[in-house]
Amino acid sequence: MTDNRLDFAKQDGLIPVIVTDFKTGQVLMLAYMNEDSYQLTLETKQMHYWSRTRQEIWHKGATSGHYQYVQSIKADCDRDTLLAAVRQEGAACHTGAYSCFFREIYPGFGKEK
């Protein structure tokens, strides 16, 4: 049997969660979970996070209607970071963008001058 316990103690009770679109693999956002938000996510199959700003559990979509439905969750080798693939309804970003990662800093390959 696989040990699926996560190491919440390492980072003051929070673990980062990288959230991707399950169809495209596009990174949508980075958020944090505590043990309670993690358990709610497993129980409801909808993403719940810990808001570091508001210091409360945040059910993604409860206010905006832009829910995230869990398709898979994987832990890294140290069990202190999660990778969640979701079916995103609407925008993931509070700005209204589909992904929070839309600000290009370094243009990357294929854009040489």
Distance from chain centroid for Cα 112: 32
Residue ranges of the annotated binding site for Zn(2+) are 77, 93, 100
Who's near 30: CB < 8 A, 6+ residues apart? 16, 17, 18, 19, 100
- In degrees, rounded to 5, the angle at the alpha carbon of residue 90 between the alpha carbons of residues 89 and 96 is 150
Binding residues for Mg(2+): 76, 78, 80
For residue 19 the two structure tokens come to: 């959230």
Which amino acids are annotated as binding site, given as ranges?
A: 76-78, 80, 93, 100
